[in-house]
Chain A
Amino acid sequence: MNQIQCFTRKVTTQLAAFSILALPLATTAQVAHADQITFVSQGGAYQEAQTKAILDPVAQSLGITINQESAPDAWPMIRTQGATGQPIWDVVDTPTFNCIRGGEQGLIEPLDFSRIPNAESMPDGYKTPYSVAYEFYSSVLAYNPETYGDHPPQTWKDFWDIDNFPGPRALRNNPLGTLEAALMADGVAPDELYPLDVDRAYEKLEEIKPYIATWWTSGGQSAQLLHDGEVDMIMMWNGRVSSIIDAGAPAAFTYNQGVLQSTHLCVIKDAPNLDTAMKFVNAAIAPDVQADLPKYIDYGPGNPAAFQTDRISKARAAELPSSPENAAKQALMAYEWWSSPEGVEAERRWLEFMQQ
């Protein structure tokens, strides 16, 4: 629980303020009462970006009040609200993993997709019975261009190739995404990864283990490693690489064979404002508002239809992890597999691998 820092930020949109002013005029109090939700995301620059791109416009168009909260690790709170049977949250933006296991444990509402028409055009891999993709990021191969010059690494095979691409490397201290990279290095095609061949992945990881200078744990640490030249090659999140490139560090990355990851929107079981919550989920993945997210942050829209609007320039789309061109080069993480018993066992095995 130590990492949980919850703070509440009431966002009162102009319209919401207007509706409060108009309250004495309303015939029943029910009107104002029903039209609000509590929305939870992960805080920081990311939550600010979506407030401008998505939350404020949606609040305005639906005529609702969105009360925002932040929980970098929402899972313990989701569990507690389920256990006490007194949910206070409505919609959560959280790693897809949480939505699936929450759904399986009866803590998350199944989504009625007939009420979410905006999800219809989205690929099946972007939806689960309990959730729908909200935004995308990617675990990519990043490197120091000064070290590799005209011949930079482009695939995980190159990352594993010590002779042609010398230099210390770093991987994330977590099997999610890392096992996928190992299998791609071993020749598995990005769209044929699942179910993961866990034994084969760990065997391949043993090969590269002596050359891994650091197994990073936080996004900030991965940025520092590449920025300071501690490593020449690293698997890290695309937003973190672009931020150090912007800061002038010698860094570059490729989306080729990246592992496309996402956070999803899901609704808490028996949420206090269930009906409004479902309306919100549909509105929040509408192509237009989704298309505005990359204006404020280096994350890609969860709904690919956003790229068919005229709101994202071609140049900007080329930088985003979920644009159709970039998505085609990558592997889409299957969170269902990771939350299956095989996935949990693969995760448990990680520490054993690290200690040997």
Chain B
Amino acid sequence: MKETTLPNPGLQAMPKDNSARFQRREHHLMLALLMPALLIVTLLLIVPLGWMIAQSFQVNGSFSLEHYERVLTDGVYWRTFGLTFRISFIVTLAALLLGYPLAYAATVLPRRWSLMILALVIVPFWTSVLVRAYAWLILLQRSGVINQTLMGLGLTDAPLALVHNEFGTIIATVHILLPFMVLPLYATMQKIPRDLMLAGASLGGSPMHVFWRVFFPLSLSGVLAGMTLVFVLCLGFYITPELMGGGRTVMASMLVSRNIQLYVEWGAASAVSVVLLLMVVSIFYLVSRLVSMERILGVK
């Protein structure tokens, strides 16, 4: 950034006040170039968000806290938020346990293999969430491949309830969110110098010891970044729990759509969204105290 704003050597020879004016002009130019993007973000994100928040404080056009009162006192909402956080937590842990070894393998294996691992992680990412949910349904349902195999092998007499419940929701969600764990992890691991592991080994550390004392601590920022991304994305999941949850698994986003149908007031749904948004922002804030935002968002 610094290099681009510095005037070129020829201009540096100019008097000081001239260079300041040049810099100011360039700042104005930068701002002008940013304007279209800023305008789009303001129009399509900030304004609707403000409108949504304003709606949540209204009943029939006048100010009211009725929607928040309902969200904060009705047990249905707390149970739903509780379930949403529990599922997100389990999904995040499962994604970490699956994603870490994958990202590690992609880092240490020869390039040919690491490309294949990354491709296997990313290609499903390009498939519609809906298609993947139905694919899991075919695998997991009562008459599905997995249950038929288990029964064919005599491992179980009756089909297991693998789907239409929380379990099925978690499996499909982990699958969908895995790339968001693997990619930040891989990016972080790529930047860990291999020499450090060699140094550890040359000092007599066993491979396990070197991994836990050198590699793992250095990959922690990637772990935190991946976990935050997966957790926050999972909080807002809608289609997957709707299709895989069998109606019992009610997550926060499903409350939003239900409230529109039930109360016929945008505000009733907005209040749920605002509470969820506040929770997400708090999580981001807490995590940002531990690791820099740029790293989570993959800028650095």
Binding site for B on A (CB under 8 A): 75-76, 79, 101, 168, 173, 213-217, 221, 224, 228-230, 344, 347-348, 351-352, 354-355
Give the segment of B30-38, B110-118, B240-248, B273-281 that binds chain A: B240-248
Interface contact A221-B243, CB-CB below 8 Å: yes
CA distance A270 to B229 in the complex (A): 49
Q: B9 at the A/B interface (Cβ < 8 Å)?
A: no
Interface contact B141-A228, CB-CB below 8 Å: yes
Q: How far is the CB of A253 from chain B (nearest CB, A)?
A: 20
- In order of increasing CB-CB distance, the 5 nearest A-B pairs are A215-B247, A173-B247, A214-B164, A214-B246, A229-B143
Query: Given known contacts A213-B164, A348-B262, A351-B76, is B247 in contact with A229 (CB within 8 Å)?
Result: no
Q: Which of B59-94 contact A (CB under 8 A)?
A: 75-76, 79-80
Q: How far is the CB of B84 from chain A (nearest CB, A)?
A: 12
Interface contact B76-A355, CB-CB below 8 Å: yes
Specify the chain A residue showing the minimal Cβ separation from B80: A355
How many residue-residue contacts, CB under 8 A, span A and B? 48
Partner of A79, one of B79, B246, B250, B264: B264
CA distance A101 to B264 in the complex (A): 10
Greatest chain B CB density within 10 A among A168, A216, A344, A355 is at A355
Partner of B248, one of A76, A221, A344, A354: A354
Interface contact A352-B164, CB-CB below 8 Å: no
Specify the chain B residue showing the minimal Cβ separation from A229: B143
Interface contact A213-B79, CB-CB below 8 Å: no
Q: Which of B102-161 contact A (CB under 8 A)?
A: 137, 141-143, 161
Q: Which residues of A contact B247 (CB under 8 A)?
A: 173, 214-217, 354
Specify the chain B residue showing the minimal Cβ separation from A3: B257
Q: How far is the CB of A313 from chain B (nearest CB, A)?
A: 37
Q: How far is the CB of A99 from chain B (nearest CB, A)?
A: 14
Q: Which residues of B contact A213 (CB under 8 A)?
A: 142, 161, 164, 246
Partner of B142, one of A79, A101, A217, A229: A229
Q: Which residues of A contact B164 (CB under 8 A)?
A: 213-214, 230
Q: Which residues of B contact A221 (CB under 8 A)?
A: 243
Q: Which residues of A contact B143 (CB under 8 A)?
A: 228-230
Query: Given known contacts A75-B264, A213-B164, A351-B250, is B75 in contact with A168 (CB within 8 Å)?
Result: no
Query: Given known contacts A230-B141, A355-B76, is B248 in contact with A215 (CB within 8 Å)?
Result: yes
Greatest chain A CB density within 10 A among B76, B79, B80, B247 is at B247
CA distance A228 to B260 in the complex (A): 32
Query: Given known contacts A168-B142, A221-B243, is B75 in contact with A351 (CB within 8 Å)?
Result: no
Q: Which of B180-202 contact A (CB under 8 A)?
A: none
Q: Which residues of A contact B262 (CB under 8 A)?
A: 344, 347-348
Q: How far is the CB of B13 from chain A (nearest CB, A)?
A: 59
CA distance A76 to B79 in the complex (A): 28
Q: B27 at the A/B interface (Cβ < 8 Å)?
A: no
CA distance A228 to B143 in the complex (A): 7
Q: B25 at the A/B interface (Cβ < 8 Å)?
A: no
Q: Which residues of A contact B24 (CB under 8 A)?
A: none
A214-B246, A355-B76 given. 20 additional CB < 8 A pairs?
Answer: A75-B264, A173-B247, A213-B142, A213-B164, A214-B164, A215-B246, A216-B247, A217-B247, A221-B243, A228-B143, A229-B142, A229-B143, A230-B141, A230-B142, A348-B262, A351-B80, A352-B75, A352-B76, A355-B80, A355-B248
CA distance A91 to B250 in the complex (A): 35
Q: B209 at the A/B interface (Cβ < 8 Å)?
A: no
